Structure 1
Amino acid sequence: MTNADVSTGDLARAGFADRFGRSPLGVWSAPGRVNLIGEHTDYNEGFVFPFAIDRRTVVALGERSDRAIRVASTFAPESVEIAIDDLTPGAVDGWAAYPLGVVWALGASGADLASVRGVDLFIDSDVPVGAGLSSSAAIECAVALALDEHWALGLDRPALASVGQLAENRVVGAPTGIMDQSASLLGEADAGVFLDCRSRDAEVVDLGFAAAGLSVLVIDTHVSHEHATGGYAARRASCEAGAAALGVPSLRDVDPGDLPRAAELLDDETFRRVRHVVTENRRVLDTVRSLREHGPASIGALLEASHASMRDDFEISVPELDLAVATAVDAGAVGARMTGGGFGGAAIALVADDLVETTSGAVRAAFAAAGFREPTIFTVAPSQGARRDG
């Protein structure tokens, strides 16, 4: 456990005691994630390749004598309380929808909550919000793991990932796929989670970044995005329309060789959305193969091609992300791309350890010259997934 993990866990314990007047029964945590490659492929039943990061959300839990759930956190002044039996989609909103949505989703997924007692939950996190690092899934997975153990529900980690996704889709209202929760629950140190989003089969694949002397640099542009509205939902609708027009269950079933036919059948915008998903699925497979055969220094061109596809075909990048990627590559990064749902958030760059400071300085200077807000730049390491911390 790192010092950051300890301090975050201590903050959650102290926050619980301060807010609720007693000590918690236990503390659980779950990480955010970086998606190395495979963007907007998850809800198209395709392939993704994320990894869990060393930024975590911690939940401290204490039992109640009634059937109410009360949640509080370091990032919101108010506590929110609701009876388990009153939890429905639409009953809560704001930040509390993430942890409370998990409670509803557990019941909706078939867990027997009829006899469980309520709990108080206090949440702390050092996963940046709005940076495309899935702070939302970190909350959902930490809460799901805590409740599964405390209530002795006996769910495995793929089932808990599905619970988190259901909470995000139905209670939060964000039409996301299964990737974020899977990475947060299944991640391991210096490894990625190669996930088939159709079968839900997951394979842990060594990344080899540490042995190769490579760091993952996160460049948070501070351009905020909101998955539950606007562009994300529109992109998902375009993908569904493209699959329907091509007569396939999902874009997973379209091969790169089918793209000329797709170009004839679809309008230009829908075709470009389809082309991104189809070629991104291929890039995920090629990245996993390249890592196994040639190591992490071989994947730079695939990362850059992914960014170009998101910029030009899926149109989810922004000028700040494009500048971050181009500047990092010019400064010597192995490769770089935007990560996350898009319309803001963060870019990642795979950088030699001895070039981290140089690359960071180059990006800051480029942002200043462009008149953009100064980015927050930090490194992350592929890390262990959700766990009990005490």
Structure 2
Amino acid sequence: MPAHEADGPTVTPPHGAARTAAAFHAVYGAAPTGVWAAPGRANLIGEHTDYNDGFVLPFALTDTTLAAAAPRTDGALRLHSGDVPGGVVEVPADALTPGRDLGWAAYPAGVVWAMRDAGLPVGGIDLHLDSTVPTGAGLSSSAALEVATALALDGLYGLGLDRQELARLTQRAENAFVGVPCGIMDQTAATSCTTGHALLLDTRDLTTRQVPFDLTGHGLRLLVIDTRVRHALADGAYAERRAGCERAARHLGIPALRDIEYLQLTDALRQLTELPDVRPLVRHIVTENHRVQQVIARLDAGEPRAVGPLLTAGHASLRDDFAISCAELDLAVDTALAAGALGARMTGGGFGGSAIALVEDAAAPEITAAVLAAFAAAGHTAPRVFTARPGPGAHRAA
């Protein structure tokens, strides 16, 4: 994956609809019907709150997945990726079953399965995918792939799905077909984010609000530090955290941990004395929901610098209570803060992936250099550091 400039504006590698359409023609011998795009995302705050009916605040990256596609009349799925070695993966749509080992192709195949299982008139497809969203970096490459595929199917078969329906179907594909019990944040971010904004999502009722997120106008930028430590959320650790949160909610007699108000946290933890393993999980979810609300208040007041300490507090909670950080993420956060970042935290599902750092624009080169030097001194693979700017949600690209 080509790197972005570490100390300049975001640079998108050569990657566009025309190139993806040409690649489709090279693979399948004909032009695609169209090309559709869906972005990766960074989550500013609100981690692991989505499957607890809580609040999240992601924004779309300018890194995208492009899907060139054409319908087939024989019910076959032919799936090809320009980013994964190997040829075309072919499987009949009628033969799709959850849990089937299709490798990377399980994600687009799962979208077809979810749509057909919902009674939608989806047939076969020829699909070619190109992406600049790094896999396993905590930037939602899987949701970008799923949403790009879903938007292509929606266009090819005239389904007329709205953004919320697309998010629900692609989440179901990842939950039921691929086997990752993720919440709905990533898919909603991919479908619904807008340029220049973060997306406040209430994951209980799926209401959204576009929150202006103009760091440049305040002399700030948000660095993404991809540690290149790749995580695999289907390996069980993510599911264990979710199961623990659900067990705590059942014990407390509430629908979800979102129903614990911040001022009720001490009492809730007291009621969980007999379940010591879930108490830290509850503490993280309740305090993280509170942090989302605090970040919103500061952005609404035009005070983005004041967001920094909340990001740092969020990382401590994810590291200590939810226990999903790793040495490389902690090093990225600690080094960025020591070099002058206003705040920093891991972002994404955890166990690897990326961190974000809110920095003064003028300090970005120095902070980037400090992080690179710290990784080199620790013997870690050099991270990919780039500036994130809020981009558009999913759309037809050609």
Give the 5 Å matches for 1:27-46.
27-46=35-54
1:5 Cα shift?
Answer: 7.7
Higher mean alpha-carbon deviation, 202-211 vs 131-140, is at 202-211
1:164 Cα shift?
Answer: 0.8
Determine if the alignment matches structure 1 residue 121 to structure 2 residue 127. yes
For residue 100 of structure 1, the aligned residue among 106, 109, 115 is 109
Let me know the Cα RMSD of the aligned residues: 1.5
Letter in 2 for 1:107: R
User: What secondary structure sits across from 1:32 in the alignment?
Assistant: strand
1:325 Cα shift?
Answer: 0.7
Higher mean alpha-carbon deviation, 259-268 vs 23-32, is at 259-268
Instruction: Please list every run of 5 or more consecutive structure 1 residues that lacks an aligned counterpart in the other structure.
Output: none
User: What secondary structure sits across from 2:217 in the alignment?
Assistant: coil
Contact 2:68/2:129 (<8 A) preserved: yes
Determine if the alignment matches structure 1 residue 256 to structure 2 residue 265. no
Higher mean alpha-carbon deviation, 365-374 vs 126-135, is at 365-374
Determine if the alignment matches structure 1 residue 309 to structure 2 residue 317. yes
Letter in 2 for 1:237: A
Higher mean alpha-carbon deviation, 3-12 vs 37-46, is at 3-12
1:42 Cα shift?
Answer: 0.2
Contact 2:70/2:156 (<8 A) preserved: no
1:167 Cα shift?
Answer: 0.4
C-alpha separation in 1, matches of 2:305 and 2:265: 30
Determine if the alignment matches structure 1 residue 90 to structure 2 residue 99. yes
Contact 1:220/1:376 (<8 A) preserved: yes
- Normalising by structure 1, we get a TM-score of 0.96
Give the 5 Å matches for 1:1-390.
4=12, 7-76=15-84, 77-113=86-122, 116=123, 118-266=124-272, 267-390=275-398
Letter in 2 for 1:96: A
Letter in 2 for 1:138: A
Contact 2:224/2:354 (<8 A) preserved: yes
C-alpha separation in 2, matches of 1:296 and 1:110: 45
Contact 2:24/2:32 (<8 A) preserved: yes
C-alpha separation in 2, matches of 1:148 and 1:297: 41
Contact 2:78/2:126 (<8 A) preserved: yes
1:284-303 per-residue CA deviation (whole Å, 9 max, x = no partner) reads 11111110013211100110
Runs of 4+ in 1 over 3 A off after TM superposition: 2-6
1:380 Cα shift?
Answer: 1.8
Instruction: Please list every run of 5 or more consecutive structure 2 residues that lacks an aligned counterpart in the other structure.
Output: 1-9
C-alpha separation in 2, matches of 1:22 and 1:5: 25
The percent identity for this pair of structures is: 51
